[in-house]
A and B are shown apart, each in its own frame.
Chain A
Amino acid sequence: MNLSFWMPVAVLATSLVTAMIIFLLPERRHTLRGTLNLIAAIVKIGLVAFMIFGVMQQQSFETRFALLPGIDFVLRADAMSMLFAGLSSVLWLFTTIYAIGYLEHAPNRSRFFGFFSLCVASTMGIALAGNLFTFLIFFEMLTLSTYPLVVHRGTKASLQAGRTYLRYTLVGGAVLLVGIALLHSMVGSLDFAETGTLRDVPSEQHGLLIIIFILLITGLGVKAALVPLHGWLPIAMVAPAPVSALLHAVAVVKAGAFGIVRVVYNVYGIEFSAQLGVLIPLAAVAAVTILWGSFQALRQSGLKRRLAYSTVSQVSYIVLGSALFGPLGTIGGLVHLLHQGIMKVTLFFCAGNYAETLGIHKIKELDGAGQRMPLTSIAFTIGALGMIGLPPTAGFISKWYLGLGALDSGLVWVLGVLILSSLLNAAYFLPILYRLWFKPVTSAWPDEQIKAARFETDPWLLFPTVATAVFTIGTGILAASPLSPLSWASLIAIREYLP
């Protein structure tokens, strides 16, 4: 029982304990709740940063105890888990700040922030889970803690959306459970390990392994919104903006994608997956999802719905990356895990700003908003250019590595998919930018809530938006620096291939 044991527990506890205290606090203690939330978020960033430096120096952090005979509960910090933990701890801070501003004067804040913290605790658990069982526990906990957030407004539409959300994710979870149980019956409980754990399974059982792979990916694919399992995502858009931001950038969708990454790299192993022949079908599913999501996004007239379909498309870049055999593809997929999060959270913050400040929900209402809300619009522009994949944003780095990875693994058609997807992204984002910057304001804003004063909107909303936009550019401009997501992804990629 030393530091190594307690660190992962402490990271989880920062959100779990906060959640408990918040549930116990009376509704009206807004300041105390806010302060507590922010302190917890900052402490968590500190702890995660400490572990990241530890992992860089090959130090290990592991919490392990037997849950059932033969099944361990394992939390462990490895390079891959730190990738996801780093993303969620940083974005949690910004989302918390944003949510405090967004929900000012709203009812039921105690419930909201309680589940919000639980949701983050679940993502942390998913990040740190050291085997599939531990992963599953937090994966289901995530489902249950996000449901109250989706239905937070309590309207008929949101309750309906909540039901759809539960139906999809619970079935997905069940399929995942079946896959994990089958795998357990074959090989016992195996910890996640670099380069995978299954390559010594005798070849007569490979057929079964392929079936299990399909079950695992299907179960995870519901949350990762792989087509045709993505139906819940656009419906869940009724949730408040910070929840959408969290769902799309770090929590639910990303948890699914991260699970797929774990299965490919740390359960099956990339080389063994390639040997089984499951990578190319996975790439095909990802490619279909990328294009389908973009085509659907083109057809949407609501800002948040367009962003939702864009998420369907963009998250599959991560899946695509893990389906490309070769370090460059791996880097592209992993780095996009972070990049997509930063870019998407920016875009959702912006959508929330437009809605809260001016009452804008439809794309056609955005005409001339660039003059009224310049900083938000600049942030939106940066996020959108990132999604298209233009340099110097984070999105370009992802696309560059995915493209090189596609060629490296001999899948030239994947490059075509990437380029086509870029063009589609341009087709649905550039018209928005045109409205923001070049169209004149035609009439009064639909519902102006916050008047322009010193800032264009509530600083609690504006600050996180600007910060994540700066990150979107910063991760691109500083891509080659040692502390960039790209460098971290490259570090992992090297370790995932057999020497």
Chain B
Amino acid sequence: MILLLLLVPLILTLLVRQSGETFQRALLIIAPLPALLVSLVIGNESLNISWLLLGLHWELTDLRRTLLIMTSSLWLIAGISTAGSLSRFQRRARYLRCWLLTLSGNTLLLIASDIMSFYTFFALMTFAAYGLVIHSGSNSALRAGKIYLIMALIGEAFLLSGLILAASLSAGGTVTPLMTELPLLLAEHDALLISAFLFLGFGVKVGVAGIHMWLPLAHPAAPTAASAVLSGAMIKTGLFGWLTVLPMSAYEVLPESAISFSQLGTVAIGLGLLGAFGAGVLGVMQTKAKTVLAYSSVSQMGLMTLLLGVALLEPNLWPSIAAVIIFYAVHHGFAKGVLFLSVGISHELGNLSVRLLQLLSALPAAALIGAPFTSGMMAKYLLKENANEFAGWLYTSVTLSAIATAALMARYLWLLGQESNTTQQSATSTLAAFWAALALALGGWLIIPTTLDLPWSILWEGSSLWSGVWPIALVALVSVALLRRRAGSPAE
């Protein structure tokens, strides 16, 4: 029953009024707390209410908890950040309602296990986030919103078809299966087409190459704190969907039933590589820091996609790959969150030093590349281990992708300086949120993997240190060379 606490933000939506800024600030901060507390305090738990929906079933497992901790803490930080600048928002009540609805959908879908709850909250998050994307009302935001919505609908269409098709495999007929029962059904029926539908349905959210084009438009269009949750937390719901329903996870239920989905796996690896490198190339050509970050998300999710492809090909690798994806999701969520928030800070720098901001932002940026002693080093190491287990060339590819990430981060840090504006000053709570996010990105992740059984020793092993350093060094050299040439050339 305690899981019902996650409905609190949904109820808070009803309390939003036009006036009362203090109350509105309070709502922003209170709303994510139930999810955060439940995920931190409560053990594994499930809730069954047979007369609700088509049979409601929610559960909190280790996997779900890990993602819920990341998601709710990111929403909390984004909420605190927004609370500081709330007075500058037009149509606050509408924004706040969309915020709370998106937050509700995002957190609740992580505990939903029956298909109808899950689909309800997934759709709630998707459609409510439209209000965040178009909030500024500018033409570019409206266009981004339109493309976001069209792609979201296409995703929903694939998802719903996939879910209905998968549910029809259940022999019971009238019984609607749980989300967690789908992998086994898909594996037992060797259901390639259905799996492909589900892959695409969630793939839109993940930003898989080819169906990613909404992402670099929509994520940056939203107000900064909303971009942070869009790119940090909401993009992970697609990953979560994959983890929950795709057939490789049948391995955990019944190892002998898990079969290789080689076509889908190969396509996923191909699209993953395309995303990881392609987004790097397109990203460095962007002129806005937030757009660069969005491309970086597409690139990072490309790595996740290829890892999923490996698991589809070789389900016996799934248990370790699942752990990597979750770890990576948390690591990327925290890092991306703070990177977006610092864009917001740079726009209202006040008397802060832009160099300091760049320096501070370089830390999570380095983590994203996989620099030593960061979450990224751990994540990249685990990622490469699994890639290597599959094929040597994939190992090399993942290693090389660090160059793409490093280039994106260099571009981002440079643009951060370019965009900096000292005429306005960030509010105290916006700064506080930035510091909190930074702390989480650098240290907060350490509390996560206790349930994942990770090899901590790699953090101080020499070989992995070097592989984290050289991409950064390489890109740093090239960047410095480029900056020098630019300084040397006649003024443009």
In the assembled complex, B51 has its CB within 8 A of some CB on chain A? yes
Provide the residues of chain B in CB contact with A419, threshold 8 Å: 157, 160-161
In the assembled complex, B22 has its CB within 8 A of some CB on chain A? no
Q: How far is the CB of A40 from chain B (nearest CB, A)?
A: 33
Q: Give complex CA distance A416, B164 in Å.
A: 11
Q: Say yes or no: A422 contacts B160, CB within 8 Å.
A: yes
In the assembled complex, B444 has its CB within 8 A of some CB on chain A? no
Q: List which A274-298 residues lie within 8 A (CB) of chain B.
A: none
Q: List which A448-499 residues lie within 8 A (CB) of chain B.
A: 476-482, 490
Q: Say yes or no: B116 contacts A392, CB within 8 Å.
A: yes
Q: How far is the CB of B71 from chain A (nearest CB, A)?
A: 21
Interface bracket on A: 20 to 34
In the assembled complex, A408 has its CB within 8 A of some CB on chain B? yes
Q: Say yes or no: A415 contacts B116, CB within 8 Å.
A: no
Q: List 15 A-B pairs, Cβ < 8 Å.
A: A328-B174, A389-B160, A390-B123, A390-B127, A391-B119, A391-B123, A399-B160, A400-B54, A400-B116, A400-B164, A403-B161, A419-B161, A477-B53, A480-B52, A480-B55
Q: Say yes or no: B51 contacts A438, CB within 8 Å.
A: no
Interface bracket on B: 20 to 34
Known: A328-B174, A392-B53, A415-B165. 7 other contacts (CB 8 A): A328-B173, A399-B160, A403-B160, A437-B131, A480-B54, A482-B51, A490-B174
In the assembled complex, A404 has its CB within 8 A of some CB on chain B? yes
Task: Write the chain A residue with the least CB distance to B116.
Answer: A391
Give B residues with C-beta under 8 Å from A: 50-55, 94, 116, 119-120, 123, 127, 131, 134, 149, 153, 157, 160-161, 164-165, 167-168, 173-174, 176
The A contact surface, by secondary structure, is helix
Task: Write the chain B residue with the least CB distance to A391.
Answer: B120
Provide the residues of chain A in CB contact with B127, threshold 8 Å: 390
Task: Write the chain B residue with the least CB distance to A439.
Answer: B137
Q: Say yes or no: A480 contacts B134, CB within 8 Å.
A: no
Q: Say yes or no: A437 contacts B94, CB within 8 Å.
A: yes
Provide the residues of chain B in CB contact with A331, threshold 8 Å: 174
Q: Give complex CA distance A479, B51 in Å.
A: 7
In the assembled complex, A324 has its CB within 8 A of some CB on chain B? no
Q: How far is the CB of B52 from chain A (nearest CB, A)?
A: 6
Q: Give complex CA distance A434, B119 in Å.
A: 22
Q: Say yes or no: B168 contacts A407, CB within 8 Å.
A: yes
Provide the residues of chain B in CB contact with A404, threshold 8 Å: 164, 167-168
In the assembled complex, A219 has its CB within 8 A of some CB on chain B? no
Q: Say yes or no: B174 contacts A479, CB within 8 Å.
A: no
5 closest A-B pairs by CB: A403-B164, A407-B168, A481-B51, A391-B120, A392-B120
Task: Write the chain B residue with the least CB distance to A327.
Answer: B174
Q: Say yes or no: A426 contacts B153, CB within 8 Å.
A: yes
Q: Say yes or no: A438 contacts B157, CB within 8 Å.
A: no
Q: Give complex CA distance A426, B127 in Å.
A: 12
Provide the residues of chain B in CB contact with A94, threshold 8 Å: none
Q: Say yes or no: A476 contacts B164, CB within 8 Å.
A: no
Q: Give complex CA distance A481, B54 in Å.
A: 9
Q: Say yes or no: A407 contacts B164, CB within 8 Å.
A: yes
Provide the residues of chain B in CB contact with A403, threshold 8 Å: 160-161, 164, 168
The B contact surface, by secondary structure, is helix
Q: Say yes or no: B50 contacts A415, CB within 8 Å.
A: no
Partner of A438, one of B50, B131, B167, B176: B131
Q: How far is the CB of B56 from chain A (nearest CB, A)?
A: 8
Q: Give complex CA distance A404, B157 in Å.
A: 15
Task: Write the chain A residue with the least CB distance to B119.
Answer: A391
Q: Say yes or no: A480 contacts B165, CB within 8 Å.
A: no
Q: Say yes or no: B54 contacts A430, CB within 8 Å.
A: no
Provide the residues of chain A in CB contact with B176, threshold 8 Å: 400
Q: Say yes or no: A396 contacts B173, CB within 8 Å.
A: no
Check A423/B123 contact, CB under 8 A, given A404-B168, A408-B168, A438-B134: no
Q: Give complex CA distance A400, B165 in Å.
A: 10
Q: Give complex CA distance A430, B160 in Å.
A: 18
Give A residues with C-beta under 8 Å from B: 327-328, 331, 389-392, 396-397, 399-400, 403-404, 407-408, 415-416, 419, 422-423, 426, 430, 437-438, 476-482, 490
Q: Say yes or no: A415 contacts B52, CB within 8 Å.
A: no
Q: Give complex CA distance A399, B52 in Å.
A: 17
Q: Say yes or no: B173 contacts A408, CB within 8 Å.
A: yes
Provide the residues of chain B in CB contact with A391, threshold 8 Å: 53, 116, 119-120, 123
Q: Say yes or no: A415 contacts B161, CB within 8 Å.
A: yes
Provide the residues of chain A in CB contact with B168, threshold 8 Å: 403-404, 407-408
Q: How far is the CB of A435 from chain B (nearest CB, A)?
A: 13
Q: Say yes or no: B53 contacts A479, CB within 8 Å.
A: yes
Q: How far is the CB of B94 from chain A (nearest CB, A)?
A: 7
Q: Say yes or no: A397 contacts B54, CB within 8 Å.
A: yes
Provide the residues of chain A in CB contact with B123, threshold 8 Å: 390-391
Q: Give complex CA distance A302, B485 in Å.
A: 62
Q: Give complex CA distance A327, B52 in Å.
A: 22
Q: Say yes or no: B54 contacts A479, CB within 8 Å.
A: yes
Provide the residues of chain A in CB contact with B157, threshold 8 Å: 419, 422-423
Provide the residues of chain A in CB contact with B50, threshold 8 Å: 480
Q: How far is the CB of B168 from chain A (nearest CB, A)?
A: 4
Q: Say yes or no: A396 contacts B149, CB within 8 Å.
A: no
Q: Give complex CA distance A10, B50 in Å.
A: 37
Partner of B53, one of A407, A416, A480: A480
Check A478/B165 contact, CB under 8 A, given A391-B123, A419-B157, A422-B160: no
Q: Which of B54, B55, B94 has the most CB of A within 10 A?
A: B54
Provide the residues of chain B in CB contact with A415, threshold 8 Å: 161, 164-165
Check A477/B153 contact, CB under 8 A, given A407-B168, A419-B161: no
Provide the residues of chain A in CB contact with B173, threshold 8 Å: 327-328, 408
Q: Give complex CA distance A391, B131 in Å.
A: 19
Q: How far is the CB of B160 from chain A (nearest CB, A)?
A: 6
Q: How far is the CB of B47 from chain A (nearest CB, A)?
A: 14
Provide the residues of chain B in CB contact with A490, threshold 8 Å: 174
Task: Write the chain B residue with the least CB distance to A393.
Answer: B120
Q: How far is the CB of B114 from chain A (nearest CB, A)?
A: 10
Q: Give complex CA distance A328, B173 in Å.
A: 8
Q: Which of A327, A389, A437, A482 has the most CB of B within 10 A?
A: A437
Q: Give complex CA distance A438, B133 in Å.
A: 12
Task: Write the chain A residue with the least CB distance to B176.
Answer: A400
Q: Give complex CA distance A75, B272 in Å.
A: 65
Provide the residues of chain A in CB contact with B149, threshold 8 Å: 430
Q: Give complex CA distance A328, B168 in Å.
A: 10
Provide the residues of chain A in CB contact with B165, threshold 8 Å: 407, 415
Partner of B116, one of A328, A396, A437, A482: A396
Provide the residues of chain A in CB contact with B119, threshold 8 Å: 391, 396
Task: Write the chain A residue with the least CB distance to B160.
Answer: A419
Q: How far is the CB of B29 from chain A (nearest CB, A)?
A: 25
Provide the residues of chain B in CB contact with A423, threshold 8 Å: 153, 157
